[in-house]
Amino acid sequence: MAQSSESRAPQLTERLPLTTIIPRAWIGFSKAPWRFVGLTALMLITVSGLSVISRDLQQAEGLWQSTISDLVFVATIPSTLVPLVALLHLADQYLPSIHTAQSIEPAKGRQQLRWIFRQTAALLLLESVILIGGLNTLKIIGALMARQSGVFSAVILIAGGLALILWTLSQTLAIPLLVHHGHRPLAAMEHSRRLVQTNRLKVLALLGLLIGVNLIGLMGAFLGLLLSIPFSALLLMASCRTQTPWVSDSRRNILPT
């Protein structure tokens, strides 16, 4: 019975609690500011260091330098993904309510984090395959249609491009939902699509808020990003604490506790 109720839960209409994500994010950040800043600093230092090494090796002459440069560049992907997922997981723990995170034993928490890393990597790989496949399909269809009609080819490219953009936007919350709910990749993609479809304007407002926060962070260069990136992670994870209209717990959970 528990499994059936869980499977039906995501089918309910969910609303993003956009009006409360900023106070929730501030509460979460105030609980462990140095952990958030330290993890963000580790991510920025690692990515910046690998990028500098890759660029220097690329400028050097020689086949082995170019090969190592490519390998270092590829290594920036997991080097970014691992601390990013850890940051989202940390944000999920310290957002209200925190008592669920505290009940996790350390060994179990580490095991859960490793599982999240694997599922997130699979999710990104699946989304990349879909996106690259869609772009290549559009390119092939556009080239074939261009032989018959240039106007028709342009219409197909524009329509296909818009479809890919809308699909990409529908996956905005896939990784945060995977971290928060423990979804598998396909379930996270479907949950994100359904949630974005129900809250189109709120998702656009959330993206605008995230862009604004990080633009402000960029004004302070490295030190500004140390605050804007963890706050963005907290905003994303706070958005996963959705409200279901006409459910008794929804009104009680509207305001941060």
User: Could you report the per-residue pLDDT of 31-64, keeping only the tens digit for each?
Assistant: 999 999 999 998 888 888 877 777 777 776 666 7
pLDDT in the model for residue 126: 94
pLDDT in the model for residue 145: 79
Share of the chain above pLDDT 90, in %: 43
pLDDT in the model for residue 203: 92
CA distances from 35 to 60, 86, 231, 257 (A): 38, 11, 12, 21
Amino acid at 53: I
Measured CA to CA, the distance from residue 71 to residue 68 in angstroms comes to 5
pLDDT in the model for residue 62: 67
Contacts 24+ apart (CB under 8 A), 31-37: 31/94, 31/98, 32/90, 32/94, 35/90, 36/87, 36/90, 36/91, 36/230, 36/233, 36/234, 37/226, 37/227, 37/230
Whether 156 and 68 have beta carbons less than 8 Å apart is answered as no
Residue 243, phi then psi, degrees to nearest 5: -110, 140
The pLDDT confidence band at residue 250, using thresholds 50, 70 and 90, is: very low
- pLDDT at 175 exceeding the cut of 50: yes
Give residues with Cβ within 8 angstroms of 12, minimum separation 6.
244, 247
Closest CA to 157 of 168, 144, 170, 141: 141
Share in percent of the chain as helix, strand, coil (round to 5): 85, 0, 15
Which tens digits make up the pLDDT trace of 85-135? 999 999 999 987 544 333 343 344 555 888 999 999 999 999 999 999 988
- pLDDT at 166 exceeding the cut of 70: yes
Q: pLDDT: is 107 or 164 the higher one?
A: 164
Q: pLDDT: is 8 or 234 the higher one?
A: 234
pLDDT in the model for residue 187: 94
pLDDT in the model for residue 104: 40
- pLDDT at 159 exceeding the cut of 60: yes
Mean pLDDT of the chain, nearest integer: 80
Q: pLDDT: is 60 or 188 the higher one?
A: 188
243 DSSP β-pair partners: 15
- Give first-to-last CA distance, the chain, whole Å: 30
